[in-house]
Chain A
Amino acid sequence: MGKKVILSGNEAAARGAWEAGVKIATAYPGTPSTEILENAAKYEEIDAQWSPNEKVAFEVALGAAIAGARSMVSMKHVGLNVAADPFFSSSYTGVNAGFVIISCDDPGMHSSQNEQDNRRYAKFAKVPVIEPSDSQEAHDFIKKAFEISEKFDTPVLFRMTTRLSHTKTVVEIGERIEVPLKDYKKTPEKYIILPAHARKRHVVVEERIKALRAYASKCELNRMEINDTSLGIVTSGISYQYAKEVFPNASFLKLGLSWPFPEKLFKEFYEKVDKVIVIEENEPFLEEEIKFLGYADVEGKKYIPLCGELNPEIVRKGVLGKELPHPEEAKSVKRPPALCPGCPHTGIFYNLWRLKLNVTGDIGCYTLGALPPYNAMDTTICMGASIPNAFGFEKARGKDFAKKTVAVIGDSTFLHTGIPGLMDTVYNKGISTVIILDNRITAMTGHQDHPGTGKTAKGEPTVEIDMAEVVKALGVKKVYKVDPHKLRETRNVIREAVASEEPAVIISERPCALLPEERKQHAKRPKRKVDPEKCKGEKCLGCIKLGCPAISMKEGKAYISPLLCVGCDLCIQVCPFGAIS
């Protein structure tokens, strides 16, 4: 018996990969996937790195696998869109040593812009997909994923979901097995996908799918649990846990290797039970496979909603048409996430709100600038879209409109996919103003280093990219640096930049307020206080409009919580009556 510990799905996947002898792990941070690489980086034997984006991360890991080392790349579901190009090619090239892509999908969109189900991607790219349903399986199945990858010479998509990634469950762990480098032999007909090679490789891929389909019916990751045969449930991933909770006595076909679909095993299961239903989150992926085989009586989405994350009550209500008795829901207050006290973005969005500019936004904590009190964002599409969106605004509505528009993008996001956008604006003679919100870290996902921080994923010092030099090298002449906590000064720079007839970049420099060095500064500063004599209360609300969580109205006057205040002076700057000190 191995040691039993409590691990999140992400921690367990990293542990399992380490035990499987993984040598190279790459990623770009993205909720809910981030902790996989963070944990992989803790193992001395794993060369773990943050890449500037998922495409690069994918290509590094694929290169390492081709060169003979067991490798993995992890990302959130939409990260695979960025890495889709090498993903599809890697299906044709195959691998040499085992290569696993971990995709963490986000049913319910807890922290994402869409609800894409990447099992569809696996089928589209013609690679097998493995779905664990708890941390133990994440730990165990990833080892199997590397074996399957090598046995069938294929990348494997290891599909996790938020609730699996972030739930901690008990795991029996094992020890690492060292897997020596596989021989590397130049094989141009395999790894150079020239059309002449690719045509042959496509045939190999189709043969591989057939072999995998046959294997899926006997693979240990797929199992039947035959209990009460009046109801048979086909399920995979976290949905298994909800289904098992609601129907502990039913029979199950529980799929771990869910595509290629195990036809033979399904047929056996179908014969054993009276009625078959499919319980799966989001897309009717398994259901379509079953219907395609001609089993029109097997229903899934008839009972289980396609949109949103599942839970036991949705499964119960969907299949049985009833809920457990429960008290009535009480009306509480809305409490959306907010920018932290002392956040460097607060001053920027306060200013953008005051200047009434159009703002094309991007992906990061600063997306919260879209919410009250700022309401200072017009678009948020995907990583890196802010700068091209602003240029599109300019193209459609002209230069005067461009002078009322700014793009905002974080430091990590700028390095991810912001650079080509800015290059495009400069090249095609745009005049957009871009504000790079440089808080010296990938903040929203919980503080990951990137090429601008001067530190690697392993915490080693490295070359630090100079944002201003990058921007200048792209051909931008007007480059400003501001401290976003100096409100008036920053506002004046924004005014000047947007009025200009050429592209301008403002680099807003202030570290994330939650970084350890910043927290030390907070401790040294006095907590701010409101003089109730001077405060004009509800007639003013000036400080409240900063959106700082430390400031609220109490008995008609502004009140600053000493527990939350970090001693920045934004509220002092915005109070017209000098009531805060």
Chain B
Amino acid sequence: METRNIIISGVGGQGIITASEILSEVALFNGFDVKKSEVHGMSQRGGSVVSHVRFGEKVYSPLIEKGTCDVILAFEKAEALRWVHYLKPGKGIVIVNDLEIIPNMVSLGLDTYPENIEDTLKRVASKVFVMDGIEIAKEAGDPRTANTALLGALSNYLPFSEESWIEVIKRRVKPNTIEANLKAFKMGRERGRE
């Protein structure tokens, strides 16, 4: 199997690193070599954060090369847009949370938030799926499970069994949130099939 490349992006504090850890653990669980890379420190709340996850028979570079990304999973719209040039031309998929977080610079009038993000994404990606993760998380009983719902949508595009996801999620989330997380995952997986 050719190495698969997934970008998870969002805003510092949204839980990007936990989400990419779950994805990496699932890849290992399924017997793949896996590398997961992001930079932390000086990127606390509010800054742009990106994590690269690569898995396959044997992975060398921890960083994804431009033009080779299979799926971008973005927890915020502008953070999906930021990485579109990494997508495989004409073959990439974008799953994006229906959320806009406005940086202070925009509110100060020093920068502008991009318009028509979905249209730009659609021009570049073969498929764009916008999903309100927070809404699903609320339905699942805990608004903090939005990321798990989005991972559920992502899971449709990866060669891992539902059981392996469930196993890793159970291990990785707080015991009192397992139920809500699994519900959010299944709902996200269901909606993502549409």
Contact = CB atoms under 8 A, between A and B. Distances in A.
A326 B66 contact: yes
A320 to B, nearest CB: 13
A549 B62 CA distance: 31
A312 B134 CA distance: 35
A244 interface: yes
B98 interface: no
A511 to B, nearest CB: 15
Nearest to A538: B109
Nearest to A342: B45
A133 to B, nearest CB: 9
Interface string A372-412: 11000000000000000000000000000000000000000
A312 B65 contact: yes
Judged by DSSP, the binding face of A is loop
A23 to B, nearest CB: 28
Interface stretch (A162-170, A199-207, A299-307): A162-170
Interface string B34-50: 11111111111111100
Given A329-B85, A338-B104, A445-B41, A313 B36 contact: no
B25 to A, nearest CB: 7
B108 A544 contact: yes
A444 B45 CA distance: 11
Interface residues of B, number: 60
A536 interface: no
Interface in A451-485: none
Interface stretch (B111-119, B149-157, B158-166, B174-182): B111-119
Interface in B18-69: 21, 24-25, 28, 33-48, 59-63, 65-68
Contacts, number: 201
A337 B42 contact: yes
In the complex, which of the residues B41, B63, B85, B87 has the most CB atoms of chain A within 10 Å of its own CB atom?
Answer: B41
Interface in A79-123: 110-111
Given A169-B33, A169-B36, A514-B45, 12 more contacts: A6-B25, A6-B34, A167-B37, A168-B24, A242-B61, A327-B67, A333-B106, A334-B103, A372-B105, A373-B108, A541-B109, A547-B104
Interface of A: 4, 6, 31-32, 34, 110-111, 134, 162-163, 166-170, 238, 241-242, 244-245, 248, 311-313, 316, 323-341, 365, 372-373, 444-446, 514, 538, 541, 544-545, 547-549, 551-554, 561, 563-564
Interface of B: 11-13, 21, 24-25, 28, 33-48, 59-63, 65-68, 78-79, 81-82, 84-87, 89, 92, 101-114, 120, 124, 134, 143
